Amino acid sequence: MATVKGNGNTQIKQYEIFRCILLILGIILYYLHKLYIVINIPFINFLFGNISFYMISPVVPILLASAYAVAYFIENDKPLLLLLTIFDAFSFPYGTIFAVIFAFAIIYYTSPKLNRMQMMAMIIPLLIALPLAYYVSSPTPPSYTHPSVMVLCEQGGRGEYIIQLQDFPSPQSVEVQSVVIQEIQTLGGNIIDTTINPVNVILADIDSSKLPQLMSHEYVKAIYPNERIVRIFDTTQTLNDVKNLLNIQSVHSNGTGIVVAIVDTGINENIPQLKRGGKSAVIDKYEMYGDYVLPHGTEVACCIASQDPDYPGIAKGVDLLDVEVFHEDGIADVWSIIRGWSWVANWKLSHNRYVICSNSFGCPPTATSSEILRNALDNMVLKYGIPMVVASGNTGSQVMCPGDAKYAFTVGAVDKTNYIASFSSYGDEVDVVAYGVNINTFDDSGNLVTVSGTSFSTPIVAGCFALVAEKEKLPPLAMYDLFRTTAKDLGTPGFDKQYGYGLVDVVSAYSSATNQHIQRTSIEKTLTIALLPSTIVLAVVSTGRFRFGFGGGYYG
């Protein structure tokens, strides 16, 4: 035991012993999967979230514990202790739990007692930092580039336009719509449809010459043409067993209790492959242009929920929502996609179920109306808590919209040899890849077909989400992080534009989620709130007025 000089230095030694013991205990508890704290209050989750250096490697806390042990034998250890505290702030939840307990111990055992000013000096920074850190870490939609109304004017004549309004809470959104509707009608426009989620928009038929005047209204945010530009992604080609390739039989889950919305060309829920216990796996539907206008939607649905014993879906236990938004030619206008998403959001709000949305379609990312799709998709994730799994596209070039939205979980396609499919769109937006070449599924007549495309790698990933969600109903961004960090790396080491983070690995994702070892790709955002309590405690301990010790010993 080192000889220490001065009361303040003695107290720092006590701090070092506490931290060393806590780090070692943290390693043990982590691998025993014990003492995880989840509190459904966002601010509090900053302090007690399941984020830890232990998730990266057990070597990190071991090195930290060793460093604290070394610091104990160094007489002038304050600089090292300050450095260690910065790194130690990441040790969630154990580091923060200890810092909070230690702070209360200081307040109780310090002699003389802390005065009011000293108490306020410790509490006020916490009260300020907590909401600030929450705000900084909370995801926000990116800014969007709105089309020029002057360019739209040059098109001439009447047309269908999507008028996006300023963002307000729901009750005000309806009132704002009413005001703008009156303005549209005054300008000679006809209202076709409206919705307030996932974005507050109005679909109107109006002369393009009136658009500049409408754009000048205080509540109008942007105007987009309602273009028929959204296409499904599929091609036909021969056979493989995706469930065996993904080793899904080792996952003790089938998606029971989870809802997957298929926004597509409609589903024939009456084919035998979608019957479960005499009832259809489709529990509700929304139809814009017909029941099932093309086989594509049924083929996508069967990738997830087929009950066929020889060709089962990825997650046989899920319930499906059939959201039909395409015309018979396999093309949809932008409004129809937004309307379909709106129905899904409303369904979730009214039924209080965990919903995943599978989207096997896209449009050119440079299209005039593409920004409103990105905005709407981001809101589905951020406002309504719906994971949005989206196909990257079949262009063999840049990722299609809305797969390029910030909060889309974008899926490319590989063949059974784990080589990227020639048609799979690529770019910085790709999150993972999944099998999308020669997939066995069933068409709307119940016939076995073999299909290829990112249209089918996408529902495979949505089904994998459902398998995890049955056990751990993670928020969308946590689900995204889980599947990114557990993906099997392919291509060049680390993230790359073709494979993203790699091949989806539902076995690893399920194991990590059920053991509460959920890694996050933005761990540095929590530094602010983690560091603050530990730093304050260190400052108070360094004053030399702390008299609490081990074994009933007191220092003072």
Distance of alpha carbon 437 from alpha carbon 423, whole angstroms: 10
Residue 320's DSSP bridge partners are 260, 282
Residue 252's φ and ψ, nearest 5 degrees, are -85, 65
**Catalytic residue among 173, 358, 424, 455, which?**
455
CA 227 to chain centre: 28
DSSP, res 32: T
**Catalytic residue among 77, 234, 264, 431, which?**
264
483-486: Cβ within 8 A, 24+ apart: 483/409, 483/431, 483/432, 483/509, 484/431, 484/432, 484/521, 485/512, 485/519, 485/520, 485/521, 486/512, 486/519
Query: Which of these, 248, 286, 326, 292, lies nearest to 446 by C-alpha position?
Result: 292
DSSP, res 237: -
Q: Which two tokens stand for residue 326?
A: 């395409």
**Using CB atoms within 10 A of its CB, is residue 177 exposed (0-12), middle (13-18) or buried (19+)?**
buried
Distance of alpha carbon 107 from alpha carbon 115, whole angstroms: 10
Residue 240's φ and ψ, nearest 5 degrees, are -150, 165
**Catalytic residue among 91, 296, 370, 534, which?**
296
Strands 259-264 vs 355-359: parallel, antiparallel or unpaired: parallel
Residue 482's φ and ψ, nearest 5 degrees, are -60, -45
Evaluate the CA torsion angle 372, 375, 377, 383 in order and state its sign.
negative
Q: Which two tokens stand for residue 413?
A: 């396609």
Q: Which two tokens stand for residue 370?
A: 């593409």
- Judge whether 455 counts as a catalytic residue: yes
Return the CA Rg of the chain.
Answer: 28
Residue in this structure with the two tokens 């307040």, named with its chain if needed: 107
- Per-residue three-class SS string for 247-260: CHHHCCCCCCCCEE
Distance of alpha carbon 504 from alpha carbon 513, whole angstroms: 14
Residue in this structure with the two tokens 């076709």, named with its chain if needed: 192
Residue in this structure with the two tokens 């059920």, named with its chain if needed: 514
Distance of alpha carbon 142 from alpha carbon 474, whole angstroms: 23
- Helical residues (DSSP H) of 147-237, grouped into ranges: 149-153, 170-186, 211-215
Residue in this structure with the two tokens 């909401």, named with its chain if needed: 131
Contact 88, 533 (CB under 8 A): no
- Judge whether 264 counts as a catalytic residue: yes
Using DSSP's 3-state secondary structure scheme, residue 56 falls into coil
Query: Which of these, 115, 200, 217, lies nearest to 162 by C-alpha position?
Result: 200
Catalytic residues: 264, 296, 455
